């Protein structure tokens, strides 16, 4: 499963980060999933929860997901909209119908991590 391996990669990244910062615990991880990443967000969250319990530093980590939606660009004139129009709706600029394609990034990015030191102190990260 694609999402599970992505979740695994993320957890490994968090575990490594915690070790580098000498943190005892990863409190929170904020992750952005690009609109074209092809990630099923629910499955990713499920995978994260399944994998995080395998490591002491991540077993209580709260996952926050930032999932922007894709934009749509007209193939003919390049006009961009933030929503897909029905296939029979003409483009307001050029009048072409059904020529939109989705635009956006496909990256999964770790935006922010909140770590806690071994003695319970907060570490900015």
> Residue 23, interface with Zn ion (CB under 5 A)?
no
> Residue 74, interface with Zn ion (CB under 5 A)?
yes
C-alpha torsion sign, points 61, 62, 63, 64:
negative
> Residue 77, interface with Zn ion (CB under 5 A)?
yes
> Residue 91, interface with Zn ion (CB under 5 A)?
yes
Span of 3-11, 15-23, 61-69, 79-87 interacting with Zn ion by CB under 5 A: 79-87
Q: Which is nearer to Zn ion, 38 or 95 (CB)?
A: 95
Burial status of residue 46 (CB atoms within 10 A of its CB: 0-12, 13-18, 19 or more): middle
34 phi/psi in degrees, rounded to 5: -60, 150
> Residue 85, interface with Zn ion (CB under 5 A)?
no
- Least distance in angstroms from the C-beta of 79 to Zn ion: 5
Q: What angle do CA 112, 35, 103 make, to 5 degrees?
A: 130
The binder of Zn ion chosen from 27, 40, 65, 76 (CB under 5 A):
76
> Residue 93, interface with Zn ion (CB under 5 A)?
yes
> Residue 79, interface with Zn ion (CB under 5 A)?
yes
> Exposure pattern of 12-29 as b/e (b: 16+ CB <10 Å)?
eebbebbeebebbbbbeb
Q: Which is nearer to Zn ion, 28 or 79 (CB)?
A: 79
**How far, in Å, CA of 84 to CA of 113, rounded?**
33
Binding site for Zn ion (CB under 5 A): 74, 76-77, 79, 91, 93-94
């Amino acid at each position: 499963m694609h999402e599970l391996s992505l979740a695994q990669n993320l957890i490994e990244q968090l575990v490594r980060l915690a070790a580098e910062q000498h943190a005892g615990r990863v409190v929170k991880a904020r992750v952005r999933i690009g609109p074209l990443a092809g990630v099923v967000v629910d499955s990713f969250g499920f995978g994260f929860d399944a994998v995080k319990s395998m490591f002491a530093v991540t077993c209580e980590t709260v996952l926050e997901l930032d999932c922007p939606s894709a934009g749509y660009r007209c193939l003919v004139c390049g006009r961009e909209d933030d929503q897909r129009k029905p296939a029979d709706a003409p483009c307001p600029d050029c009048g072409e119908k059904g020529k939109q394609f989705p635009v956006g990034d496909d990256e999964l990015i770790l935006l922010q991590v909140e770590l806690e030191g071994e003695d319970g102190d907060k570490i900015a990260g």
